[in-house]
Amino acid sequence: MTVSDPCRLTAGEASAAMAAGDLTAVALLTACLDRIDTRDPAVRAWLYVARESALADARRLDVERRSGRVRGPLHGIPIALKDVIDVAGMPGTHNSPLHEGRVPVDDAGCVALMRAAGAIPLGKLDTVEFAALGRLPKTVNPHRLTHTAGGSSSGSGAAVGDLQVPISFGTQTGGSVMRPASYCGTYAMKPTWGVVSREGAKLFAASLDTIGWYARSVGDLRLVAAASGIADGSGTRREVSTLRIALCQTPYADRARDGALTVLTRAADALKAAGATVERLELPTSFAEIDDAKDTIMRGEGRAAFLPALLTRGEELHDTLRGIAEFRSGITPMTLKAAQDFAGHARMAYEGHYRGYDAVLTFGATGEADGGLESTGNSVFNSLWTLLHLPVIGLPAGDGPTGLPIGVQLVGFRYADDTLLDVAAAAAPVIDPWCGKVRVPAG
């Protein structure tokens, strides 16, 4: 990729070009803005674009680079934020009428980390209301404008998948980062629960919510992880032939459709052909109801998140969210306690069950993106890993039968995010048919 078309560069490529003096932060940002102007009227990923402040930041960072100061691994790289993540001075509506006109005065913790690393917040991205179960986003899939981009981090997946910004942030309570990655053909990372500050992000379920991010390569995921303090900048090089991978279809394999099993099998076969050890090892039978446990915890903890709005704004709150706040599903303190106990035991069981493997290879989504915008898709292949607090990396792995992207997930071990990035870096060139290339959405 040439610098003449900077919006197509990965963050790593753009950073190298700026270090070599072949690109400026202003030129990169301008290219992203041009792409947004051209494509976003159709894709609708953005709720707010901070043109003037971002350009001012880019000019300032270019001056700093010329004077020999480089803030960090993301110096001059534009990023975008899901609208449940606060950015000082930018609207923070959570895609909810309850928060129209809200403008935070402080950056969320993850935004502060990115600014310290030299990143430029470019704007806010569309989301399901409160990243929960309320009003749906208007974002469409950049690869087919009649289909969903997934959710709840809809705009975050679409903006990176459409080459409008090299890096974006989302949040995951069930499958809200990983499913849009699969649908939009991007890389994504959901780190170990709790290792990245959630300060300044709307809370849904405290023991599930996790900050995650999208990018165009594993190397770019690592740049963000390094800026977040959970990985080093270079990693450890792994050869594919040294990898030991467990293939897991989960207790919900019957939900796979639209070529998802074909894509997963192809990824496993490609790893084997490259010399990796890939062995089928399903989760213990005790995990059969794990998605139900996740749903109980999500809705049970969600009551605390939405009860204040119920009591102060009443009928203005979306009915689905009112239902969570009112415990219409019949969740009791004892059922919530039982689900939490199940989750605690399952986390330990997973560690022992997959000991000796480098990662678990599994579905990225149930299949291609759903048609229409009435649903953001099914999170059943993502939620269990969220409940287990595990780091997950999503990789593009090919197309389904109608030509839409389908991804796979590599699942690691708690607090071993750096190691999982090493595994994903080795596996990506084998699994992703677009690795090292630029996939321009046809719309």
Residues recognised as catalytic? 82, 152, 176
Query: Distance between CA atoms of 222 and 381, rounded to whole angstroms?
Result: 24
Query: Reading across the β-sheet that carries 277-280, which strands appear in turn?
Result: 46-49, 120-125, 78-82, 167-172, 210-215, 187-190, 392-399, 405-411, 359-363, 244-247, 277-280
Exposure string for 298-332, b = 16+ CB within 10 A, e = fewer = bbbbbbebbeebbeeeeeebbeebbbbbeeeeebe
Sequential DSSP letters for 291-339: HHHHHHHHHHHHHHHHHHHHHHHGGGS-HHHHHHHTTTT---HHHHHHH
Q: Phi/psi of residue 103, each to 5°?
A: -130, 110
Spell out the SS3 assignment of 69-114: CCCCCCCCCEEEEECCECCCCCCCCCCCHHHCCCCCCCCCHHHHHH
Is 140 in contact with 147 (CB distance < 8 Å)? yes
- Among 259, 191, 250, 289, smallest CA distance to 381 is for 250
